[in-house]
Amino acid sequence: MTDLPVRFDVRAPLPSLGELGHVHLIAVGGAGMSGVAALLLDRGLVVSGSDARASAVLESLRARGADVAVGHDPRHLDGVDTVVVSSAIRDDNVELAAARARGLRVLHRSQALAVLMAGSRRVAVAGASGKTTTTSMLAVALAAAGADPAFAGGGEIPQLGASARWGEGGVFVVEADESDGSFLVYRPEIAVVTNVQPDHLDFYGTVERVQEAYAAFVASVADGGLLVACHDDAGSRGLAAQATSLGRRVLTYGFDAGADLRVTSSEAVGLGSRSTMRVGGADLELVLAVPGRHNVLDAAAAYLAATAGVGLSPAAALAGLATFAGARRRFEVMGERGGVTVVDDYAHNPAKVAAVVATARSVLSRAGGGRLHVVFQPHLYSRTRDFAAEFAAALAEADTVALLDVYGAREDPMPGVSSELIGGPLRERHGSSGVTVGEPHDVVVARVAAAAAPGDLVVTVGAGDVTTLAPRILAALEAR
């Protein structure tokens, strides 16, 4: 695929780590950018950065020796050799514009990660859903086995204490973000594709171009490399056939009978699960401390990448996966007050939201009942426009749904696009009494706390500032 509408040439030659010099990161407080900054500090580079607002992340980087500032100013570039940005940074950002005017080297976040990965065995995990959890599971399994991996994920791994960290084990695990085409930069030796689903149409334009990008990602796998693909997902299964035709090693996983690793049974146990996987004629027990069918699939992918890819023993991989306690904001239990449990999740596309709702329903069913209250914040106007009906279908099994206003992130408002695009079809399925749209955050907090009863589950869902509501709901429940 040669015509991706990117602002950065992700196939261009990259500098070596030693050539980066003093590195400055714009919007360094973000989850992905702060991870790159941490890795650069781990490797001994001079690091500076700026962000629009103060945060605990900035303080943590400052404590580690980074020169970080609040606010953007071209003067922050004095003495800088390389500037790192993400696709969220607009071309008119004063620091980015100044960097280009001065002729400084400007790298996309993914390119900086690719530079850091040089010399390591490269493992890249891609997919519309599940890539953060699969990346985290693999990093935890390798760390538990003493393999000391380097890793860079899309969210903090609480038991490893970071979203990114350098390791001396010679393996680098990266979450490969498809949203802007930048996952083509990694050229992995081991690749995982959890699924291929229509998303990020603001960037790609059409579903066909999304599929082309994944095909290019698979084609970028190193000669003799391994592709681990989900057999249950039609898009991923098609990529497996493509990789085979290119001469790559391919292993598939799933509940389907045709998978190389087949999950033959799975049952919920508390907030986790116990499953049987059949691999090469042998039955293996997979025990997880996190709930949901989707987590079983993610663990199966991590198992194959760890064993067939990296070379970990099956016993070590299973033992490491059993210790996985979850990734930040992936069905993360925030607390319980008055018999009401509050969970926070980052889900922001229809498939992810559907998985969260299904998992919540399963948890409630095992607990003997209770109602499910979902607070959902749509992320991006374009995604809301393109998938409103699918979001409504994903949310339909909740007992009550509070739809917040769209979190625009990098996008400006679009005429006629609001959360009501989801609210309308959701009311048709659900009835008007259980659906609210666009209420202020404090009203939503009070409404949810008043409606929730002992045994109920409240889930805040979305990639924006909806995450700030979970502790407020807990406080309102306690005050009640």
Query: Which domains, and CATH codes, for the chain?
Result: 17-107 (3.40.50.720), 119-322 (3.40.1190.10), 332-479 (3.90.190.20)
pLDDT for the residue 157: 84
Cα–Cα distance measured from residue 17 to residue 5, given in angstroms and rounded to the nearest whole number: 27
Q: How far from 146 is each of 143, 149, 212, 301, 451, CA to CA, in Å?
A: 5, 9, 37, 20, 47
pLDDT for the residue 1: 46
Cβ–Cβ under 8 Å, residues 380 and 411: yes
Residue 1's nearest CA partner among 208, 174, 194 is 208
Strands 282-288 and 272-279, sheet pairing: antiparallel
Residue 131 annotated as catalytic: yes
pLDDT for the residue 433: 74
H helix or E strand, kind and range, residue 320? helix 314-322
pLDDT in tens, the chain (480 residues): 445 545 667 778 899 999 999 999 999 988 789 999 999 999 999 999 999 888 888 999 999 999 999 999 999 999 999 999 987 788 889 999 999 999 999 999 999 999 999 999 999 999 888 888 899 999 999 999 999 999 998 777 888 888 899 999 999 999 998 777 788 999 999 999 998 876 655 666 677 888 888 899 999 999 999 999 999 999 999 999 999 999 899 999 999 999 999 999 998 787 788 999 999 989 999 999 888 888 999 999 999 999 999 999 999 999 999 998 776 777 888 888 989 999 998 888 898 899 889 888 888 877 777 899 999 999 999 989 988 999 999 999 999 999 999 998 878 899 999 999 999 888 887 666 789 999 999 999 999 999 999 999 999 999 889 989 999 999 999 887
Strands 261-269 and 272-279, sheet pairing: antiparallel
pLDDT for the residue 472: 95
Strands 457-461 and 340-345, sheet pairing: parallel
Cα–Cα distance measured from residue 203 to residue 383, given in angstroms and rounded to the nearest whole number: 11
Cβ–Cβ under 8 Å, residues 64 and 38: yes
Considering the candidates 131, 390, 400, 467, report the single residue annotated as catalytic.
131
pLDDT for the residue 128: 81
Give me the helix-helix angle, 314-322 and 131-144, nearest 10°: 120
Cα–Cα distance measured from residue 353 to residue 219, given in angstroms and rounded to the nearest whole number: 30
Residue 383's nearest CA partner among 432, 415, 353, 348 is 348
pLDDT for the residue 113: 96
Considering the candidates 132, 252, 384, 467, report the single residue annotated as catalytic.
132
Residue 132 annotated as catalytic: yes
Considering the candidates 82, 133, 135, 175, report the single residue annotated as catalytic.
175
pLDDT for the residue 186: 93
